[in-house]
Amino acid sequence: MPLSASRLVPLWGYDDPRGRLTSLEEGREVPFTVRRVYLLHDVPEEALRGGHAHKALHQVVLAAAGSFTLRLDDGIQHESFTLATPRLGLYIGPGLWRTLESFSPGTVALVLASAAYDEGDYIRDYADFQRFVGVPVTSDGPPAAPPVAP
């Protein structure tokens, strides 16, 4: 899937003096049937998560609390997205390498997935990923993240 098929998805919300409510619905913000939901939490700030691609899985990822950076790579282009509000999700289709990094303290990432866990759907080696998406194998890993200014 080309990187351009990924997109930020604004989520519906309602605010009143009692707090905020944010909603996600299949067929509206989530363009697939949800078969699995999971959370990433208590992630150390310097930790990297992800580091893989999926052959068929679709996901919507959002920051339920805190913030993190999600880097996507289609084998040719790469783009970074900072997720820092529960009101904005990121749709990720199959065939994209993803890395999650720069977690703020207390971050909770919420992931909605189109299928139950299946180890056979994962591509965990970057050279295998490059072959899967049909680009020349050029390295053993994804492009390095740009340096972060102090």
Active site residues: 52
Name which of 116, 77, 75, 81 is nearest 95 in CA terms: 75
Q: Is 31 left (phi over 0), alpha (psi -120 to 50) or beta?
A: alpha
Task: Evaluate whether 132 touches 91 at the Cβ level (below 8 Å).
Answer: no
Cβ neighbours of 76 (radius 10 Å): 11
Rounded to 5 degrees, what angle do the CA atoms 49, 1, 135 make?
Answer: 90
